[in-house]
Amino acid sequence: MSEEQPEDLVVEIGEGRSYPIRFVESIADKLSRLVVQYMDEQKGLVVVTDMNLAVAQALLFDDILKEVPTFTVSPGESSKNLLRLGEIWDFLANIRLDRKGAVIAIGGGVIGDLAGFASASFLRGTSYFQVPTTLLAMVDSSIGGKTGINLEAGKNLVGAFFHPEEVLIDTTLLKTLPDAEFSAGMAEVIKYGLLGDAELFSRLEDLDRLHPEHPELASIIRRCCSIKAAVVSEDEQETATAGGRALLNLGHTFGHAIENVSGYGIYLHGEAVSIGMVAAARMSCLKGWIPEVDVGRIVRLLKRYDLPVCLRQPLDRMELLEAMRQDKKVRRGVVHFVAMRQLGDSFTTSEVEEHVLLESLEIIGAE
């Protein structure tokens, strides 16, 4: 790990609602203080996590959090549904969590989205903390207040903008992260370089392959957090008519469609985003916005982290197209895509013809 702990950041979303992203040396110490703050004062505290993390971080759960009521779900996107959400609501009600209590989401993006939405909706809102334990969650999903669950019709179609009290990042938690999950997080790291930081993208190209103990990792995580915090501050609820927070969805319109059509859980979210970024790059190239050589640079960097750049099994192009039409970014029946003018310069557009989309999907292996 980097010798120097990164400086904290603040997500500026308005007076009284801004919150910090804290880079902590020991998440155990921070959680101990939260337990004292909420349990000793009888405000109530609940942890939501997944089964894999409960095993991987057994000492944390068996020691620091042993007295804290904990709701554990199966790992993976399939848990982000109405049934699990209802079970969490019942759990919070049964332990009589009150509005001065708090929920701690300890896990990856699925846990953060699910626990965050439960906190946003239970008693019309309780405090919650994000403790991301995956690279993807550290650089992306834990920041910005997007919470929600999936429906059969599409991903994240039900949810709320609800910001945590704090985001607590301890990069040592990544040491127990499976290699595939770390690589999935690198898809989001690479995304930040593509959407607005050409210097970051070039830095990633020049560096040796990152890993949980790489000395540059912490500073790169902070840079990604800084980019997202700035975007969220300018466009909290993704209402900008062009650009804004929608830029964070580079590769996601394609990626969410892949997850939906293939079945949630077949691809890790970052894997689907990786393929989606290749499709978005191909689309941008077909439209004449970026050269073929830039598509090659993107593909090479994704492959460095063993990320898929095409579908493992063919999917129907028309089904994928229909899934994209169910995306949250559809406005007045028109799908808005994030495209690239060049590496590090992205923009939103609805001016993509169907034949371009179908060709982009065919290039990644759709039929």
Instruction: Give me the phi and psi of 342, to 5 degrees please.
Output: -165, 170
- Rounded CA separation 274/252 (Å): 9
Of 33, 96, 124, 355, catalytic: 124
Of 223, 269, 329, 336, catalytic: 269
Give the pairing of strands 19-23 and 45-50.
Answer: unpaired
Pair 192, 225: CB distance under 8 Å:
no
Residue 325: count of CB within 10 angstroms of its CB: 14
Of 22, 191, 252, 336, catalytic: 252
- Rounded CA separation 131/114 (Å): 13
Known catalytic membership, residue 238: yes
Separation of CA 180 from chain center? 15
Of 228, 317, 328, 329, catalytic: 228
Of 22, 146, 222, 317, catalytic: 146
Known catalytic membership, residue 336: no
Of 155, 256, 282, 336, catalytic: 256
The total number of residues shown for the chain amounts to: 367
Closest CA to 165 of 207, 102, 208: 102
Round to the nearest angstrom and report the end-to-end CA distance of the chain.
44
Of 249, 260, 271, 317, catalytic: 249
Known catalytic membership, residue 124: yes
Known catalytic membership, residue 249: yes
Of 77, 181, 236, 238, catalytic: 238
- Rounded CA separation 281/222 (Å): 25
Of 181, 188, 259, 271, catalytic: 188
Of 245, 282, 328, 329, catalytic: 245
Known catalytic membership, residue 228: yes
Instruction: Give me the phi and psi of 3, to 5 degrees please.
Output: -70, -30
Known catalytic membership, residue 256: yes
Question: Active-site residues: which are they?
Answer: 124, 146, 188, 228, 238, 245, 249, 252, 256, 269
